[in-house]
């Protein structure tokens, strides 16, 4: 009997060729089994879902905490206090409904999704309106660094939100709730909403839309990452296989849709930073490396780009602007308008620093002298002592309450204000006039404002803003309707009284409170 020979190593080429793939499949299967049993299998899905449901409910506590965190956030941003802003992040309750939206999407629970979405929408709306009201009544309406920091989101903000959401999703699923505090600080949900409220109150579209994009970025990243985390941990879902595939595609598409504009924004920021360094080097090279730049401000929003700089140099170069502009055009490949202010100093570094300090002191003295000059002129025009003029040098504001001048009308006081304001374009000059009769607002045919009526309306708005006393308007219904919108746009509220006859004009008067 012939003994069969053992199979050779090359007797099954197909099996030999697929051996590496078989090994990879085996490793993948083992990893999937380990994840399903040892990781996802140890999660109490029902307990996690029930807790998430409870945290998404619209309660009085939720509304209160939204308003309080919004108030703290906008006040901290107006004061430029990072510590106060961080405090607002810690108590903001918006993370709960956002996580609820993510988990509801993962398990396909439409009722939970509606409840979480309603709580989130109400919280967002309340936060924006509450911040807008605070800003309207606030004397500070300037864009502070804390507000500006939330108006230019980029791709890094999206990545921060994704990484933070992964940490937050893990904390929620594995019961590590303490991590949520760090996630709340990292994603900063409330400060962008506060900035949106600021933009709404001040009608600043740049702040409004920039901060809104940052909030939408954080919101979308947290919700969709929570959805992916829940699906990855095997949370049971009512979605079919096809619905799950569509959901995964939509999540990916949403991240791409956010990443494209944010990536372009990041590219723009990086380009501006690199270009600023190049411009700085070109200005120094123009002076042979012996000059020192005290201040440089490139404006990339103009066409051509405008660069203004103050240079401390031992030698004044008459053609420095032309040389610098030519070098920048060659480097950047586009026209550049250059304005250089040259200050002659010694050749040593110490002399340059002393000159810079002297320049700062000179500017400070000039600012103080300018403030005194404005106060003296306002005091003379208003008929009051100089010390009665309120001067804010930091904000460049001047305010004075004028004494009654015989024969002077409201138009005369406004003319005085406009004259001195025209000589000080960098200052906000305000003269508060005494109470004088308001002008009648004339109407032409078809109840349209006449030219003199428009002038009278502008004078009324100016006077009401300065004095602050409400006004009463008497005219026909059509005339009052025509005045309502321009007055509302100017922030002036007026009491209306309809009269049956058309006199051709609306009579305006002050509502003097009874003492």
How many C-beta atoms lie closer than 10 Å to residue 3's C-beta? 5
Give the model confidence (pLDDT) of 477-488 as tens digits: 888 888 888 888
Question: How many Å apart are CA 115 and CA 59, to the nearest integer?
Answer: 12
Contact 414, 402 (CB under 8 A): no
Give the model confidence (pLDDT) of 59-100 as tens digits: 888 899 999 999 999 998 888 888 788 888 878 888 888 888
**What is the per-residue pLDDT for 135?**
92
**What is the per-residue pLDDT for 20?**
59
**What is the per-residue pLDDT for 442?**
85
**Could you tell me which residues come within 8 angstroms of residue 101 by beta carbon, excluding any fewer than 6 positions away?**
113, 116, 117, 120, 223, 226
Nearest to 104 by CA among 55, 40, 164: 55
* Res 133 pLDDT > 90: yes
**What is the per-residue pLDDT for 349?**
54
Give the model confidence (pLDDT) of 208-250 as tens digits: 988 898 888 888 888 888 888 888 787 777 777 777 777 777 7
What is the average per-residue pLDDT within 255-283? 81
**What is the per-residue pLDDT for 350?**
46
Predicted confidence band at 132 (pLDDT cuts at 50, 70, 90)? very high
Domains along the chain with CATH numbers: 33-238 (1.20.1080), 278-355 (3.30.70.1350), 367-432 (3.30.300), 441-510 (no CATH)
Give the model confidence (pLDDT) of 387-443 as tens digits: 888 888 777 888 888 888 777 788 888 888 888 888 788 888 888 888 888 888 888
* Res 515 pLDDT > 60: no
**What is the per-residue pLDDT for 385?**
85
| Contacts within 8 Å (CB) and 24+ apart, 118-125 | 118/58, 119/56, 119/57, 119/58, 119/62, 120/94, 120/219, 122/58, 122/63, 123/62, 123/63, 123/66, 123/93, 123/94, 123/97, 124/94, 124/193, 124/215
What is the average per-residue pLDDT within 253-268? 77
Give the predicted TM-score (pTM) of the model: 0.54
**What is the per-residue pLDDT for 2?**
47
Question: How many Å apart are CA 359 and CA 97, to the nearest integer?
Answer: 55
Length of the chain in terms of residues written: 515
Nearest to 118 by CA among 136, 104, 133, 132: 104
What is the average per-residue pLDDT within 287-306? 78
Instruction: For residue 452, give the DSSP letter.
Output: H
Question: How many Å apart are CA 258 and CA 270, to the nearest integer?
Answer: 18
**What is the per-residue pLDDT for 90?**
79
What is the average per-residue pLDDT within 263-277? 80
| b/e 227-250 (16+ beta carbons within 10 angstroms → b) | bbbbbebebebeeeeeeeeebeee
**What is the per-residue pLDDT for 441?**
86
- The mean predicted confidence, pLDDT, of the chain is 79
Contact 98, 120 (CB under 8 A): yes
Ramachandran bin of 144, using left for φ above 0, alpha for ψ from -120 to 50, beta for the remaining angles: beta
Give the model confidence (pLDDT) of 466-479 as tens digits: 888 888 888 888 88
**What is the per-residue pLDDT for 45?**
75
Contact 338, 328 (CB under 8 A): yes
Give the model confidence (pLDDT) of 352-372 as tens digits: 555 566 666 667 777 777 788
Q: Please, what sign has the CA dihedral across residues 180, 186, 187, 192? A: positive
| Contacts within 8 Å (CB) and 24+ apart, 356-360 | 356/292, 356/294, 356/312, 359/294, 359/310, 359/312
**What is the per-residue pLDDT for 181?**
53
Question: How many Å apart are CA 282 and CA 274, to the nearest integer?
Answer: 13
């Amino acid at each position: 009997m012939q003994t069969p020979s053992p199979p050779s190593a090359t007797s099954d080429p197909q099996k030999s060729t697929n051996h590496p793939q078989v090994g990879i499949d085996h490793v993948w299967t083992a990893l999937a089994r380990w994840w399903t049993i040892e990781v996802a299998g140890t999660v109490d899905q029902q307990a996690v879902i029930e807790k998430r449901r409870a945290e998404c409910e619209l309660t009085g506590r939720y509304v209160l905490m939204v308003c309080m965190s919004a108030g703290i956030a906008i006040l901290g941003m107006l004061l430029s206090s990072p510590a106060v802003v961080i405090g607002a992040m810690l108590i903001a309750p918006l993370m709960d409904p956002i996580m609820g939206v993510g988990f509801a999407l993962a398990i396909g629970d439409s009722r939970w999704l509606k409840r979480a979405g309603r709580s989130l929408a109400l919280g967002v709306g309340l936060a924006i309106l509450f911040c807008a009201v605070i800003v309207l009544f606030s004397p500070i309406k300037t864009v502070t660094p804390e507000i500006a920091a939330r108006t230019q989101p980029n791709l890094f903000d999206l990545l921060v939100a994704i990484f933070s959401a992964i940490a937050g999703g893990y904390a929620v699923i594995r019961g590590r709730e303490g991590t949520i505090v760090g996630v709340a600080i990292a994603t900063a949900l409330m400060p962008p909403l506060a900035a949106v409220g600021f933009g709404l109150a001040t009608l600043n579209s740049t702040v409004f839309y920039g901060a809104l994009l940052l909030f939408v970025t954080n919101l979308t990243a947290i919700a969709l990452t929570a959805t992916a985390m829940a699906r990855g941990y095997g949370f049971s879902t009512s979605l079919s296989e096809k619905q799950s595939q569509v959901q995964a595609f939509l999540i990916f598409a949403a991240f791409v849709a956010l990443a494209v504009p944010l990536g372009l924004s990041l590219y723009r920021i990086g380009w501006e930073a690199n270009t600023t360094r190049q411009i700085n080097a070109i200005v120094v090279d123009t002076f042979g490396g012996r000059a020192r730049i005290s201040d440089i401000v490139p404006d990339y929003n103009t066409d051509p780009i405008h660069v203004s700089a103050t240079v401390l140099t031992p030698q004044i170069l008459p053609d420095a602007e032309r040389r610098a502009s030519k070098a920048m055009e060659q480097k950047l490949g586009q026209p550049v308008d250059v304005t250089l202010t040259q200050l002659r100093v010694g050749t040593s570094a110490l002399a340059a620093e002393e000159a810079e300090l002297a320049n700062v002191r000179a500017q400070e003295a000039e600012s103080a002298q300018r403030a005194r000059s404005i106060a003296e002129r306002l005091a003379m025009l208003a008929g009051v002592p100089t010390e009665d003029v309120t001067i804010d040098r930091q904000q460049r504001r001047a305010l004075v309450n004028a004494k009654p001048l015989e024969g002077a009308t409201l138009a005369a006081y406004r003319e005085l204000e406009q004259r001195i304001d025209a000589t000080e374009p960098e200052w906000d000059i305000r003269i508060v006039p005494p109470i004088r009769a308001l002008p009648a607002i004339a109407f032409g045919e078809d109840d349209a404002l006449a030219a003199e009526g428009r002038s009278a309306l502008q004078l009324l708005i100016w006077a009401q803003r300065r004095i602050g006393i409400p006004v009463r308007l008497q005219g026909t219904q059509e005339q009052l309707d025509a005045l309502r919108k321009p007055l509302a746009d100017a922030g002036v509220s007026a009491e209306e009284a309809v009269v049956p006859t058309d006199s051709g004009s609306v009579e305006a008067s002050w509502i003097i409170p009874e003492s």
